[in-house]
Amino acid sequence: MLYLGIDQHSKQITVSVRNQSGQVILRRQVSTRPEKIQTFFDQLQEQDCDFMAILEVCGFNDWLIACLQERGCREIVLIQPEKTSKKKTDRRDANQLGEWLWLNRDRLAEGSRPAGLRRVYIPTPREAADREITAMRKRLAQQRTRTLNKIQRILHRHNLMWDYPTKTFQTEKGRRWLVALELPAAERLEMDLLLAQWKLWEEQLTRVDQEIVERALVKPEGEIVSDAERLCYIPGLSHYGALALTSRIGPIERFPGPRSLSNFFGLTPGCRNSGNKTHRLGAITKQGSGMARFILGQAVIHVLKKDRLMRSWYRRIKGRRGTKIARVAVMRRLATIIWHMLTYQEAYYVGGPPRLRRPDDSLPDNSLPDNDPRSGSTKGTQKTPRVSLS
């Protein structure tokens, strides 16, 4: 068995290879040209067909991970680097990675977590595509917002906001008014270009939204609904938000409990305990997916409008700690609910599941999902939900 520590860059990789006894038998740099990579792995497999590899996460790991999988790599360990060293070199990084891999060889063989390493889950091709398309959707929406802000800046420059034909210019009537609006020559040219960009962003967003809906509705074999479709029960989550969350969560079995999912999203407070001083909690870690936190932050607004029980809990925290901390608390509670929804394959219940609701917590029928027996509908009937609000 060989153990490869790989420090990856765009034009070359630095490799440190150890044998079964832990001795470094090869140190070299390899160009990322396809023929050079193929030649290197051919020579490596002539020495030993079985090997394991470890590398740090970066924005262009995909091709190297695919190459290692094609070559029959027994275990690929993708880790998150903690912090950069002042004595950082490619050779030292590759050597350190190889040493970590060799030290954790027994734990990896048993299927246990490697000690002292933040291992990153390698998504399946479908999950990677879902992540990319949801991130693309967010970028397109940001581009559209920038374009609309530039249009608004031109109108404010000439004090034309009082001449809007409607409340805002983001309507069909407002767009026609912008096309016919008289402006100086330079700004008229800029306005025409911005209107063309606005139309382009709208067309691309429509196309991406259609693709997202199709992907979100794909059901696994033997399942009634997909995980993304199940998360759409949460107020404020569309197919876009639900697919963004499920693609970043991956298999829910990776998380032994709801707290681990909250920690994965970076919603748990940081801790700086030293000596006898404990419970020195700070801001949330923000070490997880920023996209997931963005989606949950947007969903909080709608959840507080629809869910009376959640809203009353939010107000109690807001009175003690303030608005920001209360909103983050709701985001963390949503992460807890999402873990239960995906683990037990159940829907979101406005006001909490029946077994946790007090007798006076009566809710209107239109606040119940279709699979709640009290709604009078038998569509998608499931077992008693175990969604916890604690």
Residue written as tokens 């970028």? 139
Query: Which residues 6+ apart lie within 8 Å of 76 measured at CB?
Result: 52, 53, 54, 55, 65, 68, 69, 122
Q: What pLDDT, in 10s, does the model give residues 296-309?
A: 999 999 999 999 99
Amino acid at 372: D
Q: How are beta strands 269-271 and 281-284 bridged, if at all?
A: antiparallel
Look at residue 79 and give its three-state secondary structure.
strand
**Residue 360's pLDDT is what?**
53
* Cα(36)–Cα(38) distance, integer angstroms: 5
d(CA 240, CA 135) in angstroms, rounded, equals: 10
DSSP state, residue 378 = -
The structure's pTM equals 0.83
| Structural contact between residues 333 and 267, judged by C-beta atoms closer than 8 angstroms | no
Cα of first residue to Cα of last residue in the chain, in angstroms, is 47
Task: Please state, as a whole number, how many other Cβ atoms lie within 10 Å of the Cβ of residue 269.
Answer: 13
Cα 343 off chain centre by: 18
Give the Cα separation of 388 and 390 in Å (integer).
6
CB 370, CB 229: distance < 8 Å: no
Half-sphere exposure in the Cβ direction for 199 (13 Å, CA): 11
For position 3, what pLDDT does the model report?
95
pLDDT score of 378 = 39
In this prediction, residue 353 carries a pLDDT of 73
Q: Which residues of the chain have pLDDT under 70?
A: 84-88, 277-280, 354-390
C-alpha closest to that of 136 among 235, 215, 62, 233: 215
Instruction: Provide the H-helix boundaries in the chain.
Output: 34-47, 62-70, 90-103, 105-110, 125-157, 172-180, 185-216, 227-231, 239-249, 258-264, 290-306, 308-321, 323-344
Please report the pLDDT score of residue 355 as a whole number. 60
Could you give the CA distance from residue 103 to residue 50 in angstroms, rounded to a whole number? 17
